A and B are shown apart, each in its own frame.
Chain A
Amino acid sequence: MLPIGHYLFLGLALFIVGVIGVVTRRNVIVILMSIELILNAVNINLVAFSRLYGDVAGQVFALFIIADAAAEAAVGLGIIIAFFRNRETVLEDEMDLLKW
């Protein structure tokens, strides 16, 4: 059985890749994909700890997050399509209306 550190490292790597994607990419769809990466990093952590402690609750939470990610992807894409129809762009640095 692999030690927990491997799993955590994989989760951390995925998380960092996701965060870098969110912070650096301009395309909102790519940002959305990066958020999926972050969520999956969390899932890996949850499943890893669930197996470590022999507690099934972590896996249940992972399933919740999968469902949540699907819903979030649907809503997020819907928002992006609606936004594209108005502004003809999906680049986040042009989405700057919500400021002072």
Chain B
Amino acid sequence: MTPTGYFLEHLWLIPLFPLATASLMLLVGRRLPKSAVSVFCVGSVGMSFAYALGAVAQLLSAGPENRVAQHILFEWLTPGSMLVSGGHLVRFTADWGYLLDPLSSVMVLVVTGVGFLIHIYSIGYMGHEGGYYRFFGYMNLFMFSMLTLVLANNMLLMFVGWEGVGLCSYLLIGFYFLKKSASDAGKKAFIVNRIGDAGFILGVLLIAATFGTIRFTSAGLADAAANSGILQALDVALSAHALAAGAPVLTTIALLLFVGATGKSAQIPLYVWLPDAMEGPTPVSALIHAATMVTAGVYMVVRMNAIYRLAPLAMDVVAVTGVVTAIFAASMALVQNDIKKVLAYSTISQLGYMFLGLGAGAFAAGIFHLMTHAFFKALLFLGAGSVIHAMSGEQDIQKMGGLWGKIPVTARTFFVASLAIAGIPPLAGFFSKDEILGSAFERHPALWIVGFITAGMTAFYMFRLVFLTFFGYSRADDHAQKHIHESPPTMTIPLMILAVLSVVGGWIGWPASLWGSNQFEKFLEPVMSGAGATESAKVVPGSSTTEYFLMLASIAIAVAGIWLAYEFYRTKRFAPRKMTGFYRVLFHKYYVDEIYDALFVNRTKDLGTLLGQIDAKVIDGVGVDGTGWLARFGSTLSMWWDKWVIDGLLNFGAKFTQLLSFPIRFLQTGTFSTYALLILVGLAILLAYYQQHLHVVLRGAR
């Protein structure tokens, strides 16, 4: 029996609330007072959260195997026949529909819940900024896009949300668009994401061509047989032996979609936009570039887990990319001095963990880490925002210090989040990270070792941040010192709520080996048990001994990282040697931006310059100027012809006539007495000639 209820029937309202207020803000927001903007924009996200809670509650009322609700609002692309690779025609359609199953439940709750808290926080944080309505308009537009992305029931609608969040990301990174670095960062994010999106859309097209449908599943639809989904089509293809595990087409689809995920979720090689994205306001970094948007890639891979399970090669690529990104980004986070940049690299690193989990086959663990990461990373960013707020806009941790007593709520919540991300039990990060590391160990010990070292680095750089920011003596200038103050309640209350979530958020995934039951994995089970789940070997939990050993090892390295940070930055027993060798490489972020500039950006610019020169020289030079020259040459020729040949003939005629008239023309004096005289002379001659006849006439007359 599929679940029903008011909230499930009105799933479409969840994205609609923020869309309505976003349109309101972007159309007439300028005229509204700030209080109205706050009420509308935060209220709409609150409504979405309430509706999401209601919908998930109603979904949970059904049995585990029936927890899926799908509603097609209307057919978006009208059906048409399409030839699929199998050689037969199918009726292809894309609908505007919403799907709520355990996976999208987790996502929709994280997005609306964390989003709601961040919106509340923004009231305080953005209170003194210009463009208040614009900020909230974009934020709500982002919420709409993100909710469309996670609630979409097909790839194409998901792509709408996917592009929508990219657009909002661009708009919000470039929020302070008068700053050159901010507008550049926005452009960079947008362009780098385009590269990934190209892969994504190719993957979608290949899915459409292979399966003849882009709907995820037909489950929950009244007429399931007529509305086949990817899962069902995959089942049919597998049972008909048209496809098998490891089929090249499945690997290609999986890799193309993963290209999209590397763009959106900032993985190697497309991660370069995320650190620059910190130019945006801090709540944006928290919401978009830590908690929600950047996890879209993870969500999408998990959504397509049936295909990934059948593509072992793609799984390996995902796992290796994830773990390499994790350690690569963590190493850069070790030496950054900008509080937000450290967190940005940390985000990339944690996203790498999620992909490591997915690549190792632990899809549920990836989503679990996504959720706990959303809690503690949003908290870290909001805390960083509160610190920046207190320090009058200073972001350099070398100019902070001694803030523990001055901004107690921020400091304590930040500390909790740091413990959570470092993986100290029983905080949220411990359970999710441990689950991922456990699966990685099952997959291949090398993956585990890299992930394990990264965990130590994570603890180190987070506590470096904590010690430099909150402990020791203050290194700020006098002016900033005087202004240090705790943030208003609109900012501290979200911090406290997120701190609680960072502590308890992991408990729903309490592992079985520690006398828990891992409710979270069980909840997600139906999504993971689609087609192909039986084909590939499921991750078998290792023996308890191994698991205990792995857990102890992670705790040990986390504690070691914290201790090392303490020795480096509190007791200064090991003073870091600055600017030598490898440190310099790390500080300059492995020169990746410079390499990309040299390899791609400048080459593209060169191409542009070349094309510009071709335009100037060939098109303008040969084409336009050539045509002009030709026309002028033609007219010169024509003029010459006219002057010498046409006029020449006439002039020749005239000259010739003049020549002929040489002696006679002097008779024509122009004075008519001459003419009269000539007439008289002529008359006299005539009379003389006809003398006799005249005589006859006269005689006759007589």
Seen from chain A, the residues whose Cβ lies within 8 Å of a Cβ on chain B are 4-5, 19, 22-26, 31, 49, 52, 92-93, 95-100
CB contacts (< 8 Å) of A31 on chain B: these are: 672-673
Q: Is B240 among interface residues, defined by CB-CB distance under 8 A?
A: no
Asked whether, in the complex, the Cβ of A100 is within 8 Å of the Cβ of B665, the reply is yes
CB contacts (< 8 Å) of B676 on chain A: these are: 19, 22-23
Query: Given A4-B701, A52-B701: A93 and B673 within 8 A (CB)?
Result: yes
CB contacts (< 8 Å) of B673 on chain A: these are: 22-26, 31, 92-93
Residues 654 to 689 of chain B near chain A (Cβ within 8 Å): 658, 661, 665-666, 668-673, 676-677, 680
User: Nearest chain B CB to A99's CB is how many angstroms away?
Assistant: 3
Complex: how many Å from CA A100 to CA B663?
11
**26 sampled A-B residue pairs with Cβ under 8 A:** A4-B701, A5-B702, A19-B680, A22-B676, A23-B673, A23-B677, A24-B673, A26-B673, A31-B673, A49-B701, A52-B701, A92-B671, A92-B673, A95-B671, A95-B672, A96-B670, A96-B671, A97-B670, A98-B668, A98-B670, A99-B665, A99-B669, A100-B658, A100-B661, A100-B665, A100-B668
Among B661, B672, B702, point to the contact of A92 (Cβ < 8 A): B672
Residues 93 to 138 of chain B near chain A (Cβ within 8 Å): none
Across the A-B interface, give the 3 residue pairs with the lowest CB-CB distance, nearest first.
A99-B670, A96-B670, A100-B665
Complex: how many Å from CA A25 to CA B658?
31
Asked whether, in the complex, the Cβ of A96 is within 8 Å of the Cβ of B669, the reply is yes
Interface SS of chain A: helix
User: Nearest chain A CB to B23's CB is how many angstroms away?
Assistant: 82
User: Nearest chain A CB to B233's CB is how many angstroms away?
Assistant: 102
User: Nearest chain A CB to B434's CB is how many angstroms away?
Assistant: 117
User: Nearest chain A CB to B254's CB is how many angstroms away?
Assistant: 101
CB contacts (< 8 Å) of B668 on chain A: these are: 98-100
Chain B CB count within 10 A is highest, among A4, A97, A99, for: A99
User: Nearest chain B CB to A53's CB is how many angstroms away?
Assistant: 9
Complex: how many Å from CA A69 to CA B124?
114
User: Nearest chain A CB to B551's CB is how many angstroms away?
Assistant: 123
Closest to B664 in A: A100
B interface residues, how many (CB within 8 angstroms): 15
Closest to B678 in A: A23
CB contacts (< 8 Å) of B672 on chain A: these are: 31, 92, 95
CB contacts (< 8 Å) of B669 on chain A: these are: 96, 99
CB contacts (< 8 Å) of B666 on chain A: these are: 100
User: Nearest chain B CB to A39's CB is how many angstroms away?
Assistant: 14
Complex: how many Å from CA A52 to CA B668?
42
CB contacts (< 8 Å) of B677 on chain A: these are: 23
Asked whether, in the complex, the Cβ of A93 is within 8 Å of the Cβ of B671, the reply is yes
User: Nearest chain B CB to A42's CB is how many angstroms away?
Assistant: 14
CB contacts (< 8 Å) of A24 on chain B: these are: 673
User: Nearest chain B CB to A73's CB is how many angstroms away?
Assistant: 17
Complex: how many Å from CA A26 to CA B666?
20
User: Nearest chain A CB to B423's CB is how many angstroms away?
Assistant: 114
Complex: how many Å from CA A99 to CA B676?
15
CB contacts (< 8 Å) of B670 on chain A: these are: 95-99
User: Nearest chain A CB to B698's CB is how many angstroms away?
Assistant: 8
Complex: how many Å from CA A99 to CA B702?
45
Complex: how many Å from CA A94 to CA B665?
19
Closest to A53 in B: B701
Complex: how many Å from CA A5 to CA B665?
41
New A-B pairs, 16, CB < 8 Å, besides A5-B702, A93-B671 = A4-B702, A22-B676, A23-B673, A31-B672, A31-B673, A92-B671, A92-B672, A92-B673, A95-B670, A95-B671, A95-B672, A96-B669, A99-B665, A99-B668, A100-B658, A100-B665
Closest to B668 in A: A99
Chain B CB count within 10 A is highest, among A22, A26, A31, for: A22
Complex: how many Å from CA A95 to CA B701?
42
CB contacts (< 8 Å) of A97 on chain B: these are: 670
User: Nearest chain A CB to B700's CB is how many angstroms away?
Assistant: 11
Residues 550 to 585 of chain B near chain A (Cβ within 8 Å): none
Residues 611 to 663 of chain B near chain A (Cβ within 8 Å): 658, 661
User: Nearest chain A CB to B659's CB is how many angstroms away?
Assistant: 12
User: Nearest chain A CB to B204's CB is how many angstroms away?
Assistant: 91
Complex: how many Å from CA A92 to CA B661?
25
Complex: how many Å from CA A19 to CA B683?
12
CB contacts (< 8 Å) of A92 on chain B: these are: 671-673
Chain A CB count within 10 A is highest, among B661, B680, B701, B702, for: B701
Closest to B658 in A: A100
Complex: how many Å from CA A4 to CA B699?
11
Complex: how many Å from CA A5 to CA B702?
8
CB contacts (< 8 Å) of A93 on chain B: these are: 671, 673
CB contacts (< 8 Å) of A52 on chain B: these are: 701
Complex: how many Å from CA A92 to CA B671?
6
CB contacts (< 8 Å) of A19 on chain B: these are: 676, 680
Complex: how many Å from CA A26 to CA B673?
8
Complex: how many Å from CA A74 to CA B156?
99
Residues 350 to 394 of chain B near chain A (Cβ within 8 Å): none
User: Nearest chain B CB to A71's CB is how many angstroms away?
Assistant: 20
User: Nearest chain B CB to A12's CB is how many angstroms away?
Assistant: 12
Complex: how many Å from CA A100 to CA B662?
10
Complex: how many Å from CA A96 to CA B673?
11
User: Nearest chain A CB to B443's CB is how many angstroms away?
Assistant: 114
User: Nearest chain B CB to A26's CB is how many angstroms away?
Assistant: 8
Complex: how many Å from CA A92 to CA B658?
26
CB contacts (< 8 Å) of A26 on chain B: these are: 673
